[in-house]
Every structure is written in structure tokens, then in C-alpha cells.
Amino acid sequence: MPVFNRTRFLVGVLFMTSFCGSSNSLAASASQPEKFTNTHIEYKTTWRDMWKVTKAYFRDNRDAATPTFDIPVSTLTPQMLDAVAEDSVIKLGHSTTLLKLSERYILIDPVFSERASPVQWMGPKRFHQAPISLEDLPKLDAVIISHDHYDHLDKGSIEILKNKVDVFITPLKVGNHLRDWGVDASKIVELNWWQSTKVNGIEIVATPSQHFSGRGLFDRDETLWASWVMKSSNTNIFYSGDSGYFDGFKTVGEKYGPFNLSMIETGAYNELWSDIHMLPEESLQAHIDVQASVMMPVHNSTFDLALHNWNEPLIKITDLANAKGVPTSIPIFGEIVPIKSAGEAPNKTWWLDER
């Protein structure tokens, strides 16, 4: 018999409720419409869809929704970061990633709070601690936000970071949240799809993704969502943000590829919402589409946000990638990975209990 978990059930209902409603506006444009939408689908759900998801959460019978062992974490210090000479990438959790490019620090989707939730007394709780505290992070040249969902935009983290970041780069109207939380407006750059900015010689481009936005019941699609290109003099990186699979990835590859590394959403998926979160085989195809050399799966292993076992995304993506001969890099949280040689070291399969 499935074990009813009230907190998980309530989180599922809240999660799906945020999908309800529809957007009939035009695609994102420079005029900043009241509502944004995708280029390839108009994503909307009905109460029937919500009922299907509610039933699925109620019947949840996973054997490993959360880890049964301590997820390994490599603790970082400021001195260790200072010593990094090559362009490098460090997974800190979920989609939170620190890049050191041309001696510049860029932090992506910082979520350091205990829960990815509107409140810190309920909601998806971290499986592991962050490898480094917000206070110990170096001065950041830029923070990039992909969209405004709680597992990507964390108010508590922004309030601590706001005085040690040169510029926050967001999709259109996401900057409204930052200004509300005390970030100086002069530090915020908001981009539409295909617009770009430069930070100390690093080009950062907002590219399309297929998703939605909103932090409550009544703000659906009022802010834009995006994937991102980050190009330094030495390396070229793609981050998918949250997205369903669509042919926009091929367009990104044609315009900005090839990439040394792709950081592709691989987790929190389900057939019930595959329009806006890729299944593992679609994540692999997105990596191929953007013409990247090495794939680093993100959006997994920190929070329970779906109905698969916590480590299923990494099990599936490694099997799929091995079958197609695609190099992957799945480091321990906190492990410093040189970008240009990210695919050379064998994965340690830390997501399996091998004690």
C-alpha cells in the first residue's frame, strides 16, 4: 500500500496549482507584455490535469524519494577557489552552479536555503548542505537567474548576496523581485530572449526555453524564463534552465555552438508535465542539439520535486549517454571541474550506495 505523506501531498498540490490558468499573450517581446508565453507551445493546464497530478502524488509509492545514505559533499574554502587557475565549474546543489571564467566568478540560480519553498517550515527540504556558505563565496562578478520559481530564485540567498555581486542578470521582469528584496536597481540587467550583455569580457546571452513562471497563485507567466549562453575568451557554456524539449535547442546550437559544456536540466520530470520539464532521453537530445562536447546534468539530487526516486535521473542519464557515447560529467557537489577536461575523468557513481 502507498504510504500517504501529507507534506509531500500538499507540496504536490501547491506545485500543480501554480500551473493552473492560461496565457493568451504573444511570445515575449521587447514591449514586455503583461503575460509571457512559449514560442512552440501555449502551456496551460486544466483542473482535470491537476486532478491527475494530485492522484499521482496521493498514490506515491517510491522506495527512495530521499537518499538512504549521506550524499558526499566536498567542502570548499575561499582559498581553494582562489587557487583555481583554469576555467572551471562547480556544482553546489540542484541547479546552483559556480563558474570561474577568465578569473571572474559567475553564480547561477543560487538557492542556499534549507527548503525550496515559499516558507521555511514546509516544502522540499535539502538532501545535503551546500559545499560553501554564502558568506564564504568570493565577490561575484555576476549572478544569473533562469526564472522565478523557488528552486531557482531564493529570496534568502539574494538578500545575503546582494552586497557582494556586481550585476544580477535575469530574464525580463524577474528584476522586479530583486528590487523588492533590496537589490540596487543599477545592479540589475534584464534581458529578453536573444539579447546579450557583457561582464568583464564574458558574453552572456538569454536564449529561449520552454517553461513558465510564477511564485504564487495569481502571478502566472508575469515574468520571463530563459536558458543561457556564457562565453569567455577560453570557453563556451550552455545552461538550459528549466525547459521541456523543443527545437529551440537546435537553434541555440546553430547560433552559438559548439559548446565545451552543457548544463542540462535532468530531474523533476514526469510524463504528466513533460511539456515543461524534459525526460532524460530528451535532456540528452537537447545536449546533442546545442552541439556541446560534455554534458553535466543539473536540476537533481538536492530536493524532492517530482515522483521519481531521488537518484533516478542520474542512473538513467548515464545509461543513455553511455549507449550513445556521450561524455558526461557528474561531479560530487563541491568538486572543482576544469571545463575543458570535464569529460576526461570517469564518474564516481556517487549517487549509488556503494559502501
pLDDT number for residue 354: 60
Paired with 236 in beta bridges are: 231
Q: Is the dihedral of CA 197, 202, 205, 211 positive or negative?
A: negative
The DSSP string of 69-116 is SPPPB----HHHHHT--S-EEEEEETTEEEEEETTEEEEES---SSBS
pLDDT in tens, 80-139: 999 998 999 999 999 999 999 999 999 999 999 999 999 999 999 999 999 999 999 999
The Cα–Cα gap between 205 and 195 comes to: 6
Cβ neighbours of residue 133 closer than 8 Å, sequence gap 6 or more: 112
pLDDT number for residue 17: 43
pLDDT number for residue 16: 47
pLDDT number for residue 20: 40
Q: Evaluate whether 301 touches 331 at the Cβ level (below 8 Å).
A: no
Q: Evaluate whether 131 touches 332 at the Cβ level (below 8 Å).
A: no
**CA neighbor of 185 nearest in space, from 170, 203, 205:** 170
Single-letter amino acid code for the residue at 219: D
Phi-psi region of 25 (alpha: psi -120 to 50; beta: other; left: phi over 0): beta
pLDDT tens track, the chain, 355 positions: 344 454 454 455 444 444 443 333 334 444 577 899 999 887 766 667 666 677 777 778 898 999 999 999 999 999 999 999 899 999 999 999 999 999 999 999 999 999 999 999 999 999 999 999 999 999 999 999 999 999 999 999 999 999 999 999 999 999 999 999 999 999 999 999 999 999 999 999 999 999 999 998 888 999 999 999 999 999 999 999 999 999 999 999 999 999 999 999 999 999 999 999 999 999 999 999 999 999 999 999 999 999 999 999 999 999 999 999 999 999 999 999 999 999 987 788 999 976 5
CATH superfamily of 62-341: Ribonuclease Z/Hydroxyacylglutathione hydrolase-like (3.60.15.10)
The Cα–Cα gap between 239 and 98 comes to: 12
Provide the H-helix boundaries in 36-98: 47-58, 78-82
Domain ranges of the chain: 1-22+41-61, 62-341
pTM above 0.85, yes or no: yes
The Cα–Cα gap between 46 and 241 comes to: 25
